[in-house]
Amino acid sequence: MARGDRALWLKQPGMPEELRLQLEQMNEAEESDSFYRDLAFGTGGLRGVLGAGTNRMNVYTVSKATRGLGNYLLAHFDSPSCAVSYDSRIHSADFASLTAATLAQMGIRVHLYPTLMPTPMLSWAVRYYKASAGVMVTASHNPAKFNGYKVYGSDGCQITIAAADEILACIEAENVLVDQLPELQPYLESGMVTYIGNDCVEAYYQAIDTLRDTRDCTPLQVVYSPLNGTGNLPVREMLHRLGNIQVEVVPEQELPDGHFPTAPYPNPEIREAMRLAIAQTVKSRADLCFATDPDCDRLGAGVRVGDDVTLISGNDMGILLLDYLCANKTLSDGKAPVAVKTIVTTEMAVPVCRKYGVELRNVLTGFKYIGEQIGDLEQRGEEGRYLFGFEESYGYLSSTFVRDKDAVNAAVLVCEMAAFYKGKGLTLLQRLDQLREEYGFYAQRLLTFAYEGESGAHRMAEIMASLRAPLAGMDEALLHTAERIDYLNDETGLPRSDVLSFSLKDGRKIIVRPSGTEPKMKAYLFASGRDQAAAENALNELEEITNKYCK
C-alpha cells in the first residue's frame, strides 16, 4: 500500500502547477510507484526521478531532506554553516535555492554558488569556508528525468554511514508537506545566505595548477565535451593555464542544458555519449577527445587512431595515470607514497605499485572512502604521502584539497600525460600496450541488471540472499571452490556494505552489489592472462555464471 496520499497532495495549498498536473494525470501504477515509499536517503544522499510524490525528487522531498539535515547540523555544531552548489539538471537551481533558504530559515549560514559549479568545487568550497556541511544538487551521469542531492561532511567528503543514518532519522521526523516553502531573496538581503565569490573559485584554480610538475607541454590538440553540464568553464580555464593545449569544444554539448538533447544518457563511460566528440576528433585530426559528466566529477577519454577513436576504460586510464604519477611526481614526505583504489577497480594496480614502492590501499566502492584515506593521512601528519586515488567508474583524484573525484583535476592530468608521451613519440594507447607487455593483460567487465520499482527492490534483496546461501547449495561448480567474502558481515575490517566477492583459485573474481543510487544490481568480473584473448575468454565463463544468478 502506498505510504503517501495523492489526494492529500492535491489539497496542499501552494502546490506548484507542474506537480499538480502530474498528480491529476497519474494512473494507478504511477501513483503506486510515486508514493509506495519515501525517496531513499543514504551516504549518496537522495537520487530519484523528478515528479510528484514521496518517492520522487521535488520541492517537498528536497525541503524535507534539508530540514532533516539542518536539525542534524544544529545538534552537532554551535554555529553551523553549509556550502551549496548545483549542476545543469532540470530544477537543480530551484532545489539549490530552496536548500539555501531552508537552512537559512533554521539559522544556518549558507555559502551558495551564484551559478552552476562542479561537484569537486563544492567539496573545495566546504573546506575553503570551513563549513559544517555541503550540498550538491545533481544526479551525476543519470538521464535527464533524474535529479539528486548529495550531502558532504565538514571534511569535504560525502557523509559517512553513521552520519547518513543520523540525518535519515532527522529527515523521517519531518513532514513532507509544509504550508509554505521559504524564498531565497530575504536571506540574501539579511546576509544569512551569501554568494560564493571569485576568491574561492580562483583559489581552487590555483590549487589545481600546483598539481602539475611540468611547466612546458608538447603541443596537443584535443576535443572536449562538457555534455551540457558544469565542466565547460573550469576545464577550459585550467587547460588554458596548462598551455600548449589547443581545445575544441563540441558546440552542441557546450552550454548547460538539463535535457541533454544530444546525449540522453550523459555518461562519458559509454560511446554514445562520446559520439559527437569522436566525430569532431576525427574531422579535426585531433590527438584525443574527452568528456566530463554533468557534475564534472567523472572523465572519459579516447585516442584517435586514423579515422576512428579508441576509448580508454576507467580502469585503463586509472592505470595510465597511476604509472605516470609514480614515475614523474615528486612527493615531499620521505615515507612510501600512498595510492588508493576501490575493491571493484583493476588489480593491475598491484604490480604497478609494487614496482615503484607505493603503498596500495583498497577501499569500498564510493569515492568518499578514498577521501577518508586522505583524511586519515592528514590526521597522522602524512598528507604529503598521498599520490593518487581512482575507481573503475572514471573517477580520479591526485589532490588532497578536494575529497571527491575531480574531473577538472583529471582533465589537466590526462592532457599533461598525453603531451608528455607525445613528446616521446607515443600515444596513450601505445603506452598502455607497453604496460600490458610489462604486467600482463588485466581484463574487467561490468554487468548491470535493472530492477525497477517496488518489485525490483524485492528482487535485488532475493538475489543477494541467494548468493549468501551456503555454497553447497549452488550448482555451479566454479563457485563451489570460490573463496567468498561477505562485506556485510565485516569479514575484511572495512565498513559493512551489501557486497559479495567470489574469488576463484585461478585468480578470477566476481563482485556483486546493489547500486546505492539506482535500481540496479552490478556485477564486476575480473580476469588476467598472457594476452587480451585469454583474459576475455576467462571473463566469458564468469559472465555466464553471473547471468544465471542475477537475471
Does the reported pTM lie above 0.75?
yes
* 455-465 per-position pLDDT tens digit: 788 888 888 88
User: Quick one: pLDDT at residue 1?
Assistant: 37
Catalytic residues: 140
Which residues of the chain fall below pLDDT 50?
1-2, 472
User: Quick one: pLDDT at residue 214?
Assistant: 65
Kindly give, in sequence order, each residue whose CB lies less than 8 Å from that of residue 263, ignoring residues fewer than 6 positions away.
227, 228, 253, 272, 273, 275, 276
**Per residue in 364-398, is it b (16+ CB within 10 Å) or e — as a string?**
bbbbbbbbbbbbebeeeeebbbbbbbbbbbbbbbb
- The beta strand positions in 168-244, using DSSP E, are 193-195, 220-225
* Cα distance between residue 227 and residue 269, in whole Å: 12
User: Quick one: pLDDT at residue 5?
Assistant: 86
DSSP string, 254-305: SS--TT-TT-SS--TTSTGGGHHHHHHHHHHT-SEEEEE-TTS--EEEEEEE
Residue 211: CB atoms within 10 A of its CB come to 18
Kindly give, in sequence order, each residue whose CB lies less than 8 Å from that of residue 356, ignoring residues fewer than 6 positions away.
326, 327, 337
Domains recognised in the chain with CATH numbers = 38-201 (3.40.120.10), 216-309 (3.40.120.10), 315-439 (3.40.120.10), 441-550 (3.30.310.50)
Q: Would you give the distance in Å from CA 152 to the centre of its chain?
A: 13
* 34-58 per-position pLDDT tens digit: 999 999 898 889 999 999 999 999 9
User: Quick one: pLDDT at residue 332?
Assistant: 63
Nearest to 35 by CA among 13, 18, 60, 72: 60
